Amino acid sequence: MNSSALAAAGRAALAPLFAFVVTLGGLTAWTATGAAGRPPAVTVEDARVLLPFGRDDTAAFFRVRNAGDVDDELVGVDAPTAGGAMLSRTVVRKGAGSMRTVRSATVPAGGTLEMSPHGLDVMVSAPPRLNLGDRLPLVLRFRGAGTVRVEAEVVRPGN
């Protein structure tokens, strides 16, 4: 290979290398200044489960805070000591309420996801025998933050 061919090959290799260096420098500066944001950072507060009547299904509620700069998503829930658990939403149509399963729920960046008996909740099927003040373990799965374990306190309906 002659020297002019080597020079041409060297110049051709410089363009992608230059693009890589500029991109890497820009991403490093973006991250160093905090512009890249903080990943989702969820905490779960005020976890409660309603005292069931006998072995009837019941519902659990909690507040999820996301201190990160990126939305997260609650994608699943387990109740290890119960028959099962799923995200659900109470829907009222023509004065009649019904439960609908929900695949996921968004936890907004820098915000809160509030669960309640009148909206989004966790339906717990075949719960163990529970008394007031007992704690029911729940495992929440988030798309970004991973797994969070909580214990929901058993309360009377309306509390």
Residue 13: give the domain boundaries: 1-36
Pair 27, 85 in one domain: no
- Specify the CATH number for the domain of residue 52: 2.60.40.1890
Say whether both 1 and 54 belong to one domain.
no
- The tokens for 45 are 């507060």
Same domain assignment for residues 79 and 137:
yes
Residues 59 and 1 in one domain: no
Task: State the pLDDT at residue 145.
Answer: 94
What region does 59 belong to: left with phi over 0, alpha with psi -120 to 50, or beta? beta
Q: What is the pLDDT of residue 5?
A: 61
Segment 87-129, tens digit of pLDDT: 999 888 887 777 899 999 999 999 999 999 889 999 999 999 9
Query: Do 93 and 151 share a domain, yes or no?
Result: yes
What is the tally of structural domains in the chain? 2
Q: What is the pLDDT of residue 35?
A: 47
Encode pLDDT of 3-48 as tens digits.
Answer: 666 556 556 665 655 555 555 444 444 444 444 567 889 999 999 9
Give which of 136, 138, 107 is closest to 42, Cα–Cα: 107
